[in-house]
A and B are shown apart, each in its own frame.
Chain A
């Protein structure tokens, strides 16, 4: 994808052929139907076609987490998701959080000064929301004591939050305050 930039006009005029398909994504609650080149990653479709520039492109290779969004309720790296493979999915980006106002986790990031440049922040927030749901659903992490019973919410201390958010890098090193902000909303 990268250098081969597909403009909105391309997408609108390209017919569904061997290399294009019509795809419907439910983005932040709104169905969006687009004809897309199969090569296009969800991240690029969000940013370039749908003007949702919250999710950021840090590495484009699954290594930084800046592109994290929720697909069908689960956090994923949108740079490695082909949009065509997500036909029919629900996508929530940082723009879709909060009911009109700010989501409590967004507010906590402000209160706790959990960023400097802010580039990683939308990914951190989507990732943290995904991680909180995973813990509620009883998903363990690498630092969870293997004896912790299955099928019940897993408690999230600082070490757990750090481990579960390790897929989100912050070049500014705001990690301690990010953990503070996440702790605020799970309390």
Chain B
């Protein structure tokens, strides 16, 4: 590992200033992804700006019924928060389906969003990888890619984003709050991560030096039935092969709102907008859910070894949506 300077920031201003003052700086949250990648030589920061103890550690109920979760709130604390469990349960479930108790205690909201792909070639500095080294090629395209993308990928990168949390945030219409040289701004969680296109080295819309300060769960999805379900190779402590977060509002026997996002299928949480549109005004039946998800997944372009993900995602999705229908309607 390359030697690096270390700065503990006391405020967001101090953090962004320290970032600007140190060439090759990276922010440090809980370190559970960054330190791992530094040990592997994938990340070689010249300085770590520690944002793990910034005063962004509150979960606040805002007057308009939304909930702001600070960037340094630990994953385990978000998952256990009564407001999250009661009103946006899919977020709590997504967090609890990820990593381990130890990792969730260290991992921050900001770091979770910005964790890098688990593509094995990305993590192996001896292999070509356009995400790690632009222009070097993509070893996964013809290599081991059973866990890789079936939607939205490009010739340059077929990686998936590994975060479970981000999938729930996308389905729940959360926003990501940012602070940087241009001041504060916020981005829909479903648009925060990017598709790879020809710039796979860029995972998200974040600008250099910008800091995630928090995420906001909107009042519009508060209290609606929501669920997260993850299919994986073992019952616990494994990344998603395919996962689904969904929120559903059914009134007068028809779907009035559907927020559906897939994990494990793409370079970002895949918001299933076609499926959502197809469901609006429809009766919430298993057949309607299956039809809507088929429409969405018609765009899938599986790789040699991961076609199984398409029916898997469909079936998990139908199951989740069916469970979200209030008993009186079903």
B32 touching A38, Cβ below 8 Å: no
B 29-65 contacts with A by CB, 8 A? 31-32, 35-36, 38-40, 48, 50, 52
Measured CA separation A84–B53 after assembly (Å): 13
Asked if residues A38 and B76 are in contact (CB atoms below 8 Å), the reply is no
B236: chain A residues at CB < 8 Å are 142, 162-163, 166
- Grouping DSSP codes into helix (H, G, I), strand (E, B) and loop, the A interface class, with mixed when no group exceeds half, is loop
Is A54 among interface residues, defined by CB-CB distance under 8 A?
Answer: no
Residues of B97-125 contacting chain A, CB below 8 A? 97, 99-103, 105-106
Q: Are B36 and A61 neighbours in the complex by a CB distance under 8 Å? A: yes
Give the interface centre of B85, B105, B237 by most chain A CB atoms within 10 Å. Answer: B105
Interface residues on B, range: 35 or more
Return B42 CB to nearest CB of chain A, in Å.
12
Q: Does A33 sit within 8 A of B, measured CB to CB?
A: no
Indicate whether A2 reaches chain B with its CB closer than 8 angstroms.
yes
Looking at the complex, which one of A4, A80, A134 makes contact with B32 (CB distance below 8 Å)? A80
Residue with the highest number of chain A CB atoms closer than 10 Å, among B76, B101, B106: B101
Check A106 for interface membership: any CB of B closer than 8 A. no
Interface centre among B8, B32, B52, B86 (most CB of A within 10 A): B32
Question: Residue B237 contacts which of A4, A19, A134, A167 (CB distance < 8 angstroms)?
Answer: A167
Contacts of B6 in A (CB 8 A): 21, 38, 82, 84-85
Q: Which of A45-53, A71-79, A95-103, A176-184 contacts B (4 or more CB under 8 A)?
A: A71-79
- Kindly state whether residue A35 has any CB partner on chain B within 8 Å: no
Residues of B within 8 A of A142 (CB): 93, 96-97, 236
Chain A residues, CB < 8 A from B4:
19, 38-39
B residues less than 8 Å from A76 (CB atoms): 102, 105-106
- Please, which residues of chain B bring their CB within 8 A of the CB of A21? 6
Asked if B5 and A18 sit within 8 Å, CB to CB, the answer is yes
A85–B72 Cα gap in the complex (Å)? 14
Q: In the bound complex, do residue A68 and residue B102 qualify as a contact, i.e. CB atoms below 8 Å apart?
A: yes
The complex places the Cα of A140 from the Cα of B85 at a distance, in Å, of 9
A186 within 8 A of B: no
> A166 to B236, alpha carbons, bound, how many Å?
6
B316 to chain A, nearest CB (A): 15
B interface residues (Cβ-Cβ under 8 A, vs A): 1, 3-6, 8, 28, 31-32, 35-36, 38-40, 48, 50, 52, 76, 79-82, 85-86, 89, 92-93, 96-97, 99-103, 105-106, 235-237
> Which 6 pairs across A and B sit closest by C-beta, in order of nearness?
A167-B100, A150-B82, A166-B236, A19-B3, A139-B80, A166-B237
| Seed contacts A80-B31, A150-B81; 12 additional CB < 8 Å A-B pairs | A19-B5, A38-B6, A39-B1, A61-B40, A75-B101, A85-B52, A139-B76, A140-B85, A141-B101, A146-B89, A166-B101, A167-B99
Q: List 30 A-B contacts (CB under 8 A).
A: A1-B39, A2-B1, A18-B5, A37-B3, A61-B36, A61-B39, A62-B102, A65-B100, A76-B102, A76-B105, A77-B103, A80-B32, A80-B35, A81-B31, A81-B35, A82-B28, A82-B35, A85-B28, A85-B50, A85-B52, A134-B76, A134-B101, A137-B80, A139-B80, A142-B97, A146-B92, A150-B82, A166-B100, A166-B236, A167-B101
